[in-house]
Amino acid sequence: MNGYITIGYGQLALSALLILVNVGLSIGLKLGLERSLAIASLRMVVQLLLIGFVLEWLFTQENPFLILAISLVMASIAGIAAVNRTSRRFPGIYLNSLLSVLVASSLVTGLSVRGIIQVQPWFDPQYLIPLLGMVLGNTLTGISLGLDRFMEGVTTQRDQIETLLTLGATRWEAAHKQVQEAIRTGMIPTINSMMVMGLVSLPGMMTGQILAGANPIDAVRYQIVIIFMIASGAALGTFGVVLLAFRRLLSPDHQLRLDLLRPK
Amino acid sequence: MGLVAPSGAGKTLLLRSIVLLDPVQEGQIAFQGKPLRDWHLPSLRRQMVYLPQRATAFPGTVQDNLQQALQLKVNQAQGSGLAQDDAKQWRANSRILHWLQQLGRGQDFLQLQAQQLSGGETQILALLRALQIDPQVLLLDEPTASLDAETTDKVETLLQDWLQAGNRAFLLTSHDQQQIQRFTTRTLDLTELRP
């Protein structure tokens, strides 16, 4: 069971026909999604093909600084994308998100690559880049969910927070419930996905390894390591970003600074 | 002291600024001769309690709401008012019962679900919640706007009694000129401050 079938351009074109199901539904039910479908499909194909070429080139590189630089770019894009998914803004939100993504993903990926998988050399792009990518993707989701929830929470529960403040609560006493709720929200998707992992969902990475000819048991082991990485990355990132947002929106003077929030 | 000004002139903003709920852009506010910036704000806000026009109740009973306010760190650290034991294991002390009686409520009021109270009852809850932490100054923003005439009378009596107990002050806004006159010796018209 070594090797795998290589997919040619003709086969790619054939697979694109599947999206006609969506287009058909959109036209038939007047969903108005045709344009979005076309753009999304095109973007997906172009972005993936490009990254394929980039990775092919990257895997031949042996310069750790170059690979670190690329990791940094990936993390920055994740940090920006996380904020773009939220519905409110405050000054410094992008910096908070970038910082949280960077710290969470570098800690988790670094520890795993060095300590658990023990890749030699540690910057071997064949391991570092895909692992980092998966951690980033999930950290991004956690951060955007947590951040959005926190901003939503302090906005809708403004009266409660301010009432506590007027009674002499510190900013933490007044808003720790909203912090908890936000971090919980950021962590739940990973927990949910772990619950049904292997039963309902076969993770994409594992499926990919199996398709590429890996022994299923080996693929499963990788998947387990990665799920734990993803879970801790998302938790750490959410924790960081919510705490930073808390420090921003609840000032050292124990004020709720909703005046800093702007709609997207 | 009473504050009068047309709607939107900044009465509420002024009250909120006095306890620094909103950042103060210009000028300085001092309490007991000490600029607000030099105060530990939670301690300051415990001595000057701001009661907004629309009071907020937390989940749980009225009693839970009162208890919650006493369990804040600043109250425990400085624990006047109720003793620390009372804060941890809250029980209706004689002060609360006396206030309730003055407001024409029984002890059963404490067991009601706070978030199901009417606007007026929530206002009473907020008043009790503030009084029990023994502030020196109450910043009252339209304190009786959502109360019926009878309860308004009772609240006014209660507040007068509280004021008489010494070394205490109000800053009051009200749409009711007569209420301001009944309560306060000085009135400040914010419109007169405009340059």
Residue of B nearest to A163 (CA): B56
Question: Domain spans of chain A?
Answer: 1-58, 63-263
CB contact under 8 Å between A168 and B42, yes or no, is: yes
CB contact under 8 Å between B49 and A159, yes or no, is: no
Shortest CA gap A38–chain B (Å): 48
- Give residue ranges of A with CB < 8 Å to any B CB: 159-160, 162-170, 173, 251, 253-257, 259
Chain A environment of B52 (Cβ under 8 Å): 159, 162-163, 166
| Contacts A–B by Cβ distance under 8 A | 65
Classify burial at A195, counting beta carbons within 10 Å of its beta carbon; exposed 0-12, middle 13-18, buried 19 or more.
Answer: exposed
pTM: 0.87
Considering only the beta carbons, identify the residue of B19, B42, B51 that sits closest to A169.
Answer: B42
Considering only the beta carbons, identify the residue of B22, B23, B75 that sits closest to A168.
Answer: B75
Q: Which ranges of chain B have pLDDT less than 50?
A: 79-84
CB contact under 8 Å between B20 and A164, yes or no, is: no
List the pLDDT tens digit at each of the 264 positions of chain A: 457 888 899 999 999 999 999 999 999 999 999 999 999 999 999 999 998 998 899 889 889 999 999 999 999 999 999 999 999 999 999 999 999 999 999 999 999 999 999 998 989 999 999 999 999 999 999 999 999 999 999 999 999 999 999 999 999 999 999 999 999 999 999 999 999 988 887 888 888 888 888 899 999 999 999 999 999 999 999 999 999 999 999 999 999 999 999 998
CB atoms within 10 A of CB B98: 12
Classify burial at A233, counting beta carbons within 10 Å of its beta carbon; exposed 0-12, middle 13-18, buried 19 or more.
Answer: buried
Chain A environment of B39 (Cβ under 8 Å): none
Considering only the beta carbons, identify the residue of A160, A162, A170 that sits closest to B21.
Answer: A162
Considering only the beta carbons, identify the residue of B72, B126, B130 that sits closest to A173.
Answer: B72
Q: DSSP letter at B30?
A: E
Q: Could you tell me if B21 lies within 8 Å of chain A, comparing CB atoms?
A: yes
CB A161 within 8 A of CB A175: yes
Residues 155-174 of B with CB under 8 A from A: none
**Mean pLDDT estimate for chain B:** 83
CB contact under 8 Å between A166 and B50, yes or no, is: yes
Question: Domain spans of chain B?
Answer: 2-193
| Rounded CA separation B124/A220 (Å) | 62
CATH 3.30.470.20 describes domain B2-193: no
| Helix, strand, or coil (residue B113) | strand
User: What's the pLDDT tens digit per position in B120-142?
Assistant: 899 999 999 999 888 999 999 98
Of residues A108, A97, A189, the one with CA closest to residue A143: A97
User: What's the pLDDT tens digit per position in B139-165?
Assistant: 999 888 888 888 898 998 899 888 888
CB A131 within 8 A of CB A109: yes
Chain A environment of B137 (Cβ under 8 Å): none
Chain B environment of A167 (Cβ under 8 Å): 45-46, 49, 69, 72, 129-130, 133
| Rounded CA separation A63/A61 (Å) | 6
Considering only the beta carbons, identify the residue of A159, A170, A251 that sits closest to B42.
Answer: A170
Considering only the beta carbons, identify the residue of B22, B51, B72 that sits closest to A168.
Answer: B72
Chain B environment of A173 (Cβ under 8 Å): 72-73
Q: Which residues share a beta bridge with A201?
A: A197
Shortest CA gap A53–chain B (Å): 53
Q: Could you tell me if B39 lies within 8 Å of chain A, comparing CB atoms?
A: no
